[in-house]
Structure 1
Amino acid sequence: MFNYVKVAVAVPKLKVADCIYNKQEIISIIQEAEEKKVKVLTFPELSVTAYTCADLFFQTPLLSAAEKAVAEIAEKTKDIDMLVLIGVPVLTDNQTFNCAALLHKGKILGLVPKTLLPNYSEFYEERWFASADDLIKEEITFAGQVVPIGGDLIFSAENIPNLKVGVEICEDLWGPIPPSSYLSLYGATVLLNPSASNELAAKPGYRHQLIAQQSSRCLAAYAYASAGIGESTQDAVFSGHSMIYENGVLLGETASFSRENQLVCADVDLELLASERRKHTTYMSQLVKPDAQRFYREIKFSMVEGEIGEFLRPITAKPFIPADDASLSKRCHDIFMIQTTGLARRMEHVQAKTLVIGISGGLDSTLALLVCVKACDFLGLSRDHVLGVTMPGFGTTDRTYQNAITLMKSLGIAIREIPIRDAAMQHFKDIGHDPSVHDVTYENTQARERTQILMDISNQTGGIVVGTGDLSELALGWATYNGDHMSMYGVNAGIPKTLVRVLVNWVASTGELDAKASEILLDVLDTPVSPELLPPDENGQINQKTEDLVGPYELHDFFLYQIIRFGFSPAKVLFLAEQAFGQAYTRETLLKWLRNFYRRFFTQQFKRSCLPDGPKVGALCLSPRSDWRMPTDASNRIWMDEVEKL
């Protein structure tokens, strides 16, 4: 479903050189994996014999027992529609090879020997094994079957789009150019690594870095299964530390030093990987180089996609925001400094004397103001180079007005107050509009009047107008064209609304501001998002709440990320939203706002096609000069038709 495939890593209990015991544990785990709907399963290196057999690998009885065990595992699993990797020593060409045997429904699809053999420190593999580069034959008889053998095998599922499996073994990953680099260039989306990585004090962290980086470089899923504590402890200890990564993101991980069998599953998104590869145009460029030329044999097998069972994949409702506090603080610092540095460089380049910004007491203008203040600090300028302009209109409430004034005073910037009611009324009179009709003309008149004031003041003071609109508003077109849509540098243009909120809260908690300013920031965070273009209610409270009109920003940010970042279909976006938000929203509510997102995103492209400059801060941006180029008159029919069918 939706091109997910359930991948698993297994760490079986084993006994050194006891192929019968090990076989039984392997079969037991395969049966457990079948119940969990696993389609690709990898065991550790030499899992049939154990990795630490040492000179026992010279013993014919051990090699024969291992081969027999693989034959029996194949027979026992002939009705299981799962690709299973088992580590086994293989004798051929008068040499012994450390191999991964790939089994599917009783058939041994291929044998992949290890290429790089460690022969340093505690490792002595060259004593027992030959490298894949030393192979002569391309096909051998093994476990009663004629089987392809070589490091040039890629395993392709005929009935599951984008499922192509490549294999490298343990040390292969530690080399300067791992075989998986080439395997991925030639199509492998899921990389399997049966390993026997012994445990050392600092090794788990390094192992994480290594696999995360390789999965990122290869734009692939990487399943790494490492030998467990049943290995010999004569000179080293093995912990069974295994993990599944997808394009640098950890999807699942085993516990270390477990005394029981372990099976960790994750749903890999093959469509996501294919999308990323298409988008990164430098990815395939390596193939034109002579040293990248390879020939791979494609081993095809027929697999039914089937149900995925329990969905085992971390889906966050806030994809733009890191989950852990340490990463969040670092992310906020980095984003804030990107905004600050971008604005400071622009101010310096155009020799602006002032940074002119409209302050409403709302979330976006508050963040932009904080960036302006920080930019002046960064350049060693006094904060009165920031000119904050508050422009009360028909919808301004006392709460937002007081917050705007108090925050500007506490930050020590220059302040101007210019009410726009009279100017708007004169404009209504000039164009013949009835001010009692609170339509789009009534609203946009105020937005454009405010923008005109800011532009003219910037001319008056030799400054530039700093834009406050954010990424979420740009996605929805929730901005007045040539009103708040326009500025001379938009510092929030790359930041979605959910992240704006987090950034303001982060600044409030850093301790850099005085207590009063931090108190105001917290109240701004508690204020409903609104353009305040309609009169307040009878109690003087905000009467125009944006999220009541266009939908919750947490949903739209989620939609934006899945649709633009990966190009997913409406059905898949809806499925992911149901996973991420659980019971918070009904399916009908999700569909309502998903429909609205597609409608607005397509019809409002003209506003994004002429965006002012602004810094990109994350992996997703809608600037026509960086991430997003779209015809302003493109039809949304395909997407809307699918939404309606849902």
Structure 2
Amino acid sequence: MGRKVILATCSLNQWALDFDGNLERILRSIEIAKSQGAKYRLGPELEICGYGCADHFYESDTLLHCFQVLRKLLESPVTQDIICDVGMPIMHHNVRYNCRVIFLNRKILLIRPKMLLANYGNNREFRWFSPWNKLRLDTVPFGDCVLSTKDTCIGSEICAELWNPRSPHVDMGLDGVEIFTNSSASYHELRKADHRVNLVKSATTKSGGIYMLANQKGCDGDRLYYDGCATVAINGDIVAQGRQFSLDDVLLTQTQNSMPVTFEMSHGLLIYPLLHCVQEYEHKPCHRVKVDFSLSDCDDVYLPTHQPIEWQFHTPEEEISLGPACWLWDYLRRSGQAGFLLPLSGGVDSSSTACIVYSMCVLVCQAVRDGNSQVLEDVQRVVNDVSYTPRDPRELCGRIFTTCYMASENSSEGTRNRAKELASQVGSSHMNLNIDMAVKGMLGIFSMVTGKCPQFRANGGSTRENLALQNVQARIRMILAYLFAQLSQWAEGKPGGLLVLGSANVDESLTGYFTKYDCSSADINPIGGISKTDLRSFLQYCVEQFQLTALKSIMAAPPTAELEPLTDGQVSQTDESDMGMTYSELSVIGRLRKISKCGPYSMFCKLIHTWREALSPLQVAAKVKHFFQMYSVNRHKMTTVTPSYHAESYGPDDNRFDLRPFLYNTRWSWQFRAIDNQVVTSYKYLGVWLDGTLSFSQHISKLQAKVKS
């Protein structure tokens, strides 16, 4: 006879160091899980402090505030009568661990430290944490243990442990564990979701049982976007799929019949017959922590049979449309700004950025229609209008999105018209500027000081003069972008400023094909980790999905910076000619350099086979040499590249030495409140007794007056 268990796995939009907000979202997820009858709630990795704290993990404040939040959770009536599994850093014997804390009814059942750390791609867990490789401890069970309830056995994995060839679930499954949980902070990359799903399926295909994966979601405060996608598998079948991209702060996985997920537990039936091979493999026995609690309800005779579902993967074009859009929304609503400003050139890159903003507005309007009160509240705060309800993406774009075409004497009428038409179709507030006066003013200063006037190459000038004349145009565009971002709202009598958006793709960053501190220098860049090839496919998707027909002429035009003089009114400068290779070739080179870790020689050895149908070995050698020359000469630019959405695993973004987020909750509510409380305590020690009827600010005013007197 089987038993029914209800389990909850969730994706939370946590924010690094936002202890108040993180606590509220954790409690809300537990409340939802309990309301649906769940007896076990699993949350994402390091959810109490946020995964992206980076070097803040070194600070004792972070550890202190995590324990303060844990105490709030333990004391809350919301967490009673449900096993809660939360993530936080813990210092034990002066060693810092990435841990799961599992508790029930105010008692900590187990602290499970991470044993296999992630140290690849954007992950640097060895920088802040140590892997657990010791025996368990007995005071509060701390270490590699599993929970043994009255009706089943539950074992934990943490994120990267699932990706390891010696995953802990192998030994746990062979030792009779039936439910496996995984708390993750797995960030989005194009085409990555299928890998994650296949690993979850594989875990229970091998040994049977239930596997639950919870994942962080949203912009945690840095370049990464965690894409949610909470997942549940049973005996090799996916039975529940959480949304991969969503504006909801709290998401629990759903099935057609229930939320959270309901399964039949029948001892001995969850474990596959594959276990006949146990004798051939000596597994490590698990230490069991006994828990006087049942996940199942013996009185419930209704036993549902799990129904496999077909996982719905997004296409890369859909991922580009959704991932960076959700990232932009988190950044906008948490930064306190009033919208975005984009220098729109009429080319593929800036048009892609514009389309992502439009996609963001589509998501926001849909969330409001679906009754998401948090999104509505955030929109009203951004536009500074508590009566506003967004209904049409174009109308919302007009309120929060400004585009500007910055023309010069080298600009063509074609790009101007393409930018104007696209702005009209997405609904942005569009401006046409001319920078010639500013360029001539800058060159006039130079000529007055040196007595020389540089010329373009087309007019007889040298390569150095030609480059300098291009760069001064690009850098003036950056200055104007920031000027209008800071003052355009003020000029219209509106509060707030705008975030400047960048539009340099990952391939241009590889070679440094951009001007340092030009309009590629921005506040954030949603396409900085996406290849030109994928961006072209994305624009075609936008033509069909959003009916943005202006993109057809943009895709047909050759990519150009338009910084050199026109020839008979036509563009003569192209990006691919300047770079000495095509964008598709750059994508191949980028993956060989970063993922395959190729130097010049090994890259050449691989490419003479890859490109043998199109290029001779001599031509391949020339391209490889040219790439590495450009890469090494322009590597310094990577230290100033705009913080970009991470989408490709071969991005060259320089992660600086001080690894901290760049998006903060400026209120620091939890931390500042702790300071305030300590101030009051300090004055008491000094013998200054405070009036209990006064607020803290009134206390401070009174004390300041006392000090002055």
Give the TM bin, normalised by the shorter chain: 0.3 to 0.5
Specify the structure having the higher radius of gyration (Cα). 1
TM-score scaled by structure 1?
A: 0.44
Higher relative CO (Cα under 8 Å, sequence separation at least 6) belongs to 2
TM-score scaled by structure 2?
A: 0.41
